[in-house]
Structure 1
Amino acid sequence: MSKINTTHFEHSYTGTDPENLKGHDLGAHAGTVQLFDGEEVILIPSPSKDPKDPLNYPSWKKWAIVILVSAYSSTAVILSSGMGAFYTKVVADYPGQEKKANDLLTYPTLFMGLGNVISMPLALTIGRRPVFLGSIFLMTAAGLGCIFSRSLDVHIAFRDIMSLAAGQSEAISPMIISEIHFLHERSRRLSWFIFIQNVSVGVFFIATQFLVDAHGWRWWYGLFTIINGVVAILSVVFAAETMWDRHDTDGSSPGTVQDGAEPPVTLSNFSAHRASLGPIPWHTGLGLMVKNPKWKKIPIFYTQVMQGFCIWPIMWVFLVNGIFLGLYVFQAATFATVLTEPPFSLAFVSLAYVQGAQIIPCIVFLPLLGYGADYLVRAMSRRRGSVYNPEYRLIPFVVPVVVFVVCAVVYGQAAALTVSDATSSSSTSWGWPSIAVSYNGAFFAFLGANVVGIAYAVDAFPSRTGPHLVLICAGRGLVSFGLSYATLPAVQALGYAGIMNVYAILGGVVSLFGVAVYFFGRRAREWAYRTFKIDEPRE
C-alpha cells in the first residue's frame, strides 16, 4: 500500500480543488475525502483503538442493532401511516364526526416531525440509547391508550403521542445505522434497514387487514403494542449505545490525521485492527446514558438546525423529501376509499394485497438504490482519482423522480373515475391496478428520496448529521402535513386528477434543482464550512 500524506489540514479555507488534495487532507475539505489508496478502501471514519468505539462492535452486535431499530421503525411506520387501508372501519365507529376523524390520518406526520425536534438534541446530549428506549416504551404506552380510548378526542390525543414517539424512526434510526458503519457501506446498510422495515410493514399490512375485518381496529393497535413491548425488552439487552465523539480521539477534526500519526485503517486490515483490541464484552454500550452529558449542546444544536436553512443543498433535500412524502401520505389516505367505490368496488380485505404489495418496491429498492448506489460511488471515486464527493450519491435519484411524476399522474387519472370526485367528466377506462401500482410506485419514490437524501446529508456534513436529519425529517413532516391536511377540500375543489397534476409538477420542478446540487453542491459545502466553521472541533 502506498504511503498516505498525513499533513494536518487547517480549518481555514485554502481554495484548493479537492482533486489536488491528498489523503486525509480531504477529510476536512467540505465533506470531500479520499476513499481509495490504490486498490485499498480507506475506512471512513477511522475506527479508534478503544473497544467501546461502536465502529469496533462485532458484526453480530451491529446486526442486532440494525434489526431492533428496523423492528421499532416498522411498527412506527405502520402505526403512524397504516390506518388508511381500514380507515372506513374506524370512521364507522364515530358517526357524524367524519371530518374530524380525518385528523387520525393527517396529524401523525406533524407530530412525528415534532418528535424529532424534541428528541434529537437529547440524543446528542445523553446518548442515542436512552432516547431510543424511551421512544419505544412511550409508543407502547400510547398504543394502550389508543386501544382503550372511548372517544374520538382521546383516540386522536393518544395517536398524536404515539406519533411523537414514532418520529425518532425517521432521524435517530438512520443516524444509529450510519454511526456503526463506514462510508463505503452506508447505502447498503441503510437500504437493509429500509428493506427489513418495509418488508415487515408489507407483511403486516396484509395480515392486519384480515385482523381488522375479523376483530376490529382496536386489535390492530393491540398486535403492534405487543410487538413493541417485546422489542423494548430486547432493546434493553441488545441495543447498544452508538454515540462516540471522534473529536476527542486525537483532538483533531473528523477526517484529519496529525503529523507522525499511524496510517489509516483500511478494509483489508480491519480484522487485524479489531483483533488487536481483544475480546469485546457483549454488554459493551449497555449503560443507561453516556457519562458527563453536555447539556450546553442543546442550544448549539438548535442553532445548527437554523444554520441548515441557509445551506441550500440541505434545503433542497428537505423540500424533495417533504413533497415525495406528501404524495405518499395523500395516496395512503385516499386509496382505500377510491378502490372500494364504483367503478372499482374492491372488497375490503382485498386492500390488504394492495398495501402488502409494498414488498415489491423494497425488493427492487435494495439492489438498485442500495448496492447499486455504493457500487456507483466506488466507480465514480476511482474515475476521479480515488476522490469521493457526496454529490455522487445523487445520481440514482433520477429513478425515483421519474417514478414519482408518472405515478402521480396515473393515480390522479384513475382516481378521477370514482363517484367521490365530483369534478371529473372523464370516461377513460382505468383498471384498479392503475391505483395499486401508482400507490406503491409513490412509496418507492419516497424511499428513494429518503435514502438518497439522508446518505447525501450525512456524507456532506458528517459533523452536522443530527441537526440536518432533524431539519430534513421534521421539515418534511411539516411540508407533508401542509400538503395532505387539506386532502378532502382539495379533492372537492380540484378533483383527484387536478391535485395529482399539482403534485407531479411541484415534485418534478423541485427535483430538477438536484442538477444544480450535483454541479454546484461542492461550492455550497465549502461556503457552509467556512461560514459556520463546521470543521472546528466541538466543545
Structure 2
Amino acid sequence: MSQLADHEDSKSRVEMVEALSNASDDKINTGDGTINLFHDGSMVLVPTPSADPKDPLNLPIWHKSLIIFLVGAYSAIGVLGTSGLGAVMPSVFQAYPNDDPARVTDLVTYPTLFMGIGNLVSMPLTLTIGRRPVFLFSLILLVVTGIWCAFSTSLSSHIAGRNFFSMAAGQSEALAPFIVEEIHFLHERSSKLSWFIGVQTVGTAAMFVMTAYVVPPLGLKWWYLILTFLSLGTLILSIFFVVETMYDRNVVEEDGPSSECKPAAGERRTLRPDIFGERTLRHDLKVFHHKPVWSRMVDFYIDTAKGFFIPTIFWILLFNGAFLGVYIYQASTFATILTMPPYNFAFDLLGWVQIFQIAVVMVLIPGLGYGTDLITKYLSRKQGGVFKPEFRLISLIIPTVMTVLGCVIYGQTGAHPTEYHWMGIAAPFHMCYLGFLTGNLIGITYAIDAFPEKAGARLMVICVGRGFISFGLSYSTVPAIEATGYDGAMNILAGIVGGLMLLGIPMYILGPRIRKWSVKTLWPALAEKN
C-alpha cells in the first residue's frame, strides 16, 4: 500500500509539473526570435520562469548581482592577463635580452589566437556538461598557468604558459556573458550585460595602472602572482555563488509565455518547492548537474559552421572584427605616440590614460545598457507588443559614428603630433573603445535574441571569429603604419567601420526575413517544431 501511495503521489506530482509547464500556444512563436513581449498592455517575462526554486531565473537579485560581479572579475583578470603586457613591452624585452625580439612579441600576439581556441574547446562542453564545471575549470586553469608563467625559466616556457592562460581566459568572451544572459529576462539583458562589461572594464583599467607600477620595478613574476591571487579569490567565491545556469526549460518557456500563463514583469511569482524541491547549498555546490550528451558537441560544431551562412550574424562578426581592429591598432600604438616628442609622457603615466576607460563605462551602462532595453520596449509597444531582435541594432548608431570620428582624429594626431593636443590620442582611444564595447554588447545580445535555441553556436561564430581576426590584425599593425602612416591606416579602418554601418540599414530592414529563412533552411526540424 505504501509503494502504491508513493507511486500515486509521484504520478500526481508529474501531472502538476506538466500543468505548470504547458499551455496553449496563441503567441508568435517562429523559433527565429520574434515573440510577443507585451500582453494586454503589460510586459511579460521571456523566458517564462518556472515554479522551480532551482530555476536560475528565480535567483534573488543579490545572487544574480554577485554572479555578474564574479564573472566580470574573472573576465577582467583574463583580459588583463592576455593583453596587459602590451603596456610594458620595454620591461618584457629587458627580461629576455638574449632572445630574438620577434619571439618575445609572441607573448602578446598569440594570446588572442588561443583565446579563440579556448572558446572552440569550451563552448561545446558547456552545452554538454553544463556552464558551472567549465567556468570553474577555467578559473583553476588561470591559477595553475599564472603560477607556471610566474616561475617559468625560459621564453619558450613563458610563451607556452601564456597560451594556456589565454585558453582559460577565452571564456570571458562567450561563456561569461552567456551566463549573465541566462539568469535574466529578455527585457533586461542589455542593461545587465552592460554591468558585466562595466565590472570587466573597471577591473581591467585598474589593473592596467597596477601593471605600470608593478612590472618595471618588481618584474613579471610578481605581476603574475598578483593575477594568480586574484584568480584564486574569484575561484573560491565562485565555488559557492556561481551556480549552474543551464536549465532544461520547456520550449514554451524559452520562446515566450502562452495566454494561460503570462507572468508580468514585477509580478510576484509563486514557487513550488513541494513539487520541484528546495534550492539547497548542497545543490548549489554540486559541480555536475547534467548527464553528458556527447553528441551535442558534434551538433554544436555543425550549428557553428551554419552560423557563418546567416547574413546578419556574419555582418555582426565583421562589425565586431572592425571595432576590434581599431581597438588593437590604437592600444598597440598610443603608448609609442605619447612617450615620443612632443608629448614626452612618463612611462608610469600611461596606466592612468587607461584608467579613463572608467568614464567610458559611466556612459555605457546608463546610456547604452539601459537605453537599449528602453528602446526595445518602446518599439515593441509600437509594434503591438511584438519584439524583434533588430530593435537592439539601433543602439549601434551613436557609438559607430563616434568610432569613425575617433579613427580620423587619432590618425591625424598620430601623423602630425606637433599640430594637435595629446587629447587627440587619448580621447579617440576611449571613443573607439566605447564603440568596441558597444559592438560586443549589442552583437552577443542580438545573437542570443535572434536564435534563442542556437544561442551558444551564434556566440561561437562572433567570439571565435573576431579572435582569429584580432590575431591577424596584431601582426599587421606595424606593417600598416610603415606603409600608410597613422593617418592612412586609421582612415582605412574608419572607412571599413563606416561602410559596415551603412550595411546595417539593409540588415535592420531584412533581418526578420533573414531569420525566418535561416531557421527554415538551416534548421528545418526546428521550423517544423515551432
TM-score normalized by the length of structure 1: 0.89
Deviations 1:388-421 (A, max 9, x none): 1100000010012112111112222222247xxx
Structure 2 residue corresponding to 1:45, chosen from 44, 47, 50: 47
Instruction: Give the conservation status (yes or no) of the 8 Å contact 1:253–1:536.
Output: no
CA distance in 2: counterparts of 1:405 and 1:534, whole angstroms? 42
CA distance in 2: counterparts of 1:62 and 1:537, whole angstroms? 35
Matched residue count: 505
Determine helix, strand or coil for the equivalent of 2:255.
coil
Counterpart AA for 1:533: P
Structure 1 residue corresponding to 2:267, chosen from 263, 266, 269: 269
Instruction: Give the conservation status (yes or no) of the 8 Å contact 2:32–2:452.
Output: no
Instruction: Give the conservation status (yes or no) of the 8 Å contact 2:396–2:442.
Output: yes
> 2:29 aligns to what?
27
> 1:54 aligns to what?
56
Counterpart AA for 1:197: Q
Deviations 1:496-519 (A, max 9, x none): 222111111112112221111110
Deviation at 1:159, TM superposition (A): 1.0
Instruction: Give the conservation status (yes or no) of the 8 Å contact 2:66–2:241.
Output: yes
Structure 2 residue corresponding to 1:68, chosen from 70, 80, 98: 70
CA distance in 2: counterparts of 1:522 and 1:441, whole angstroms? 31
Deviation at 1:256, TM superposition (A): 6.0
Structure 2 residue corresponding to 1:460, chosen from 450, 455, 474: 450
Instruction: Give the conservation status (yes or no) of the 8 Å contact 2:339–2:345.
Output: yes
Deviations 1:409-436 (A, max 9, x none): 2222222247xxxxxxxxx512222111
> 1:517 aligns to what?
507
Instruction: Give the conservation status (yes or no) of the 8 Å contact 1:81–1:329.
Output: no
Give the gaps of 5 or more residues in structure 2: 1-21
Structure 1 residue corresponding to 2:480, chosen from 490, 496, 502: 490
> 1:355 aligns to what?
354
CA distance in 1: counterparts of 2:129 and 2:270, whole angstroms? 32
CA distance in 1: counterparts of 2:161 and 2:484, whole angstroms? 33
> 1:299 aligns to what?
298
> 1:110 aligns to what?
113
CA distance in 2: counterparts of 1:38 and 1:195, whole angstroms? 35
> 1:232 aligns to what?
235
CA distance in 2: counterparts of 1:334 and 1:93, whole angstroms? 21
Seen in structure 2, the aligned counterparts of structure 1 residues 287 and 506 have a Cα distance that, compared at 3 Å, is same
> 2:384 aligns to what?
385
Moved more, 490-499 or 393-402: 490-499
Instruction: Give the conservation status (yes or no) of the 8 Å contact 1:335–1:435.
Output: yes
Structure 1 residue corresponding to 2:524, chosen from 530, 533, 537: 533
Structure 1 residue corresponding to 2:466, chosen from 476, 494, 506: 476
Residue 83 of structure 2 is aligned to residue 81 of structure 1: yes
Counterpart AA for 1:535: L
Instruction: Give the conservation status (yes or no) of the 8 Å contact 1:32–1:387.
Output: yes
User: How is 1:46-445 mapped onto 2 (pairs within 5 angstroms)?
Assistant: 46-95=48-97, 97-246=100-249, 249=250, 254-255=254-255, 262-273=260-271, 280-417=279-416, 429-445=419-435
> 2:7 aligns to what?
none
Deviation at 1:283, TM superposition (A): 4.3
Instruction: Give the conservation status (yes or no) of the 8 Å contact 1:326–1:481.
Output: no
Deviations 1:368-401 (A, max 9, x none): 1101111111111111111111000000100121
CA distance in 2: counterparts of 1:274 and 1:67, whole angstroms? 29
Instruction: Give the conservation status (yes or no) of the 8 Å contact 2:130–2:290.
Output: no
Determine helix, strand or coil for the equivalent of 2:473.
helix
Counterpart AA for 1:456: Y
Seen in structure 2, the aligned counterparts of structure 1 residues 150 and 120 have a Cα distance that, compared at 3 Å, is same
> 2:437 aligns to what?
447
Instruction: Give the conservation status (yes or no) of the 8 Å contact 1:7–1:257.
Output: no
Deviation at 1:171, TM superposition (A): 0.2
Instruction: Give the conservation status (yes or no) of the 8 Å contact 2:48–2:256.
Output: no
Counterpart AA for 2:431: G
Instruction: Give the conservation status (yes or no) of the 8 Å contact 2:67–2:242.
Output: yes
Determine helix, strand or coil for the equivalent of 1:321.
helix
Counterpart AA for 1:148: F
CA distance in 2: counterparts of 1:274 and 1:367, whole angstroms? 36
Seen in structure 2, the aligned counterparts of structure 1 residues 41 and 232 have a Cα distance that, compared at 3 Å, is same
Deviations 1:513-536 (A, max 9, x none): 111111000000000111123736
Deviation at 1:205, TM superposition (A): 1.7
CA distance in 2: counterparts of 1:245 and 1:221, whole angstroms? 39
Deviations 1:110-156 (A, max 9, x none): 11111111100001100000000111111111111211122222222
Deviation at 1:330, TM superposition (A): 1.9
Seen in structure 2, the aligned counterparts of structure 1 residues 76 and 274 have a Cα distance that, compared at 3 Å, is farther
CA distance in 2: counterparts of 1:270 and 1:528, whole angstroms? 37
CA distance in 2: counterparts of 1:376 and 1:253, whole angstroms? 24
Deviation at 1:253, TM superposition (A): 8.0
Seen in structure 2, the aligned counterparts of structure 1 residues 238 and 534 have a Cα distance that, compared at 3 Å, is farther
Counterpart AA for 1:40: S
TM-score normalized by the length of structure 2: 0.91
Deviation at 1:36, TM superposition (A): 1.0
Seen in structure 2, the aligned counterparts of structure 1 residues 338 and 180 have a Cα distance that, compared at 3 Å, is same
Seen in structure 2, the aligned counterparts of structure 1 residues 201 and 535 have a Cα distance that, compared at 3 Å, is same
Quote the sequence identity (%).
Answer: 44
Seen in structure 2, the aligned counterparts of structure 1 residues 416 and 219 have a Cα distance that, compared at 3 Å, is farther
CA distance in 2: counterparts of 1:27 and 1:363, whole angstroms? 37
Counterpart AA for 2:362: I
Deviation at 1:206, TM superposition (A): 1.9
CA distance in 1: counterparts of 2:283 and 2:267, whole angstroms? 23
Deviation at 1:455, TM superposition (A): 0.9
Deviation at 1:65, TM superposition (A): 1.4
CA distance in 1: counterparts of 2:257 and 2:496, whole angstroms? 45
CA distance in 1: counterparts of 2:203 and 2:356, whole angstroms? 11
Give the gaps of 5 or more residues in structure 1: 9-22, 419-427
Deviation at 1:291, TM superposition (A): 2.8
| Between structures 1 and 2, the one with greater helix share | 2
CA distance in 1: counterparts of 2:49 and 2:525, whole angstroms? 21
Counterpart AA for 2:391: Y
CA distance in 1: counterparts of 2:299 and 2:293, whole angstroms? 11
Determine helix, strand or coil for the equivalent of 2:526.
coil
Seen in structure 2, the aligned counterparts of structure 1 residues 257 and 398 have a Cα distance that, compared at 3 Å, is closer
Determine helix, strand or coil for the equivalent of 1:289.
coil
> 2:13 aligns to what?
none
Seen in structure 2, the aligned counterparts of structure 1 residues 393 and 301 have a Cα distance that, compared at 3 Å, is same
Instruction: Give the conservation status (yes or no) of the 8 Å contact 1:109–1:480.
Output: yes
Determine helix, strand or coil for the equivalent of 1:290.
coil
Deviations 1:260-319 (A, max 9, x none): x84222224344458998863344433221232111101000000011011110001111
Moved more, 264-273 or 452-461: 264-273
Instruction: Give the conservation status (yes or no) of the 8 Å contact 1:529–1:535.
Output: yes
Determine helix, strand or coil for the equivalent of 1:165.
helix
Counterpart AA for 1:506: I
> 1:19 aligns to what?
none
Counterpart AA for 2:255: G
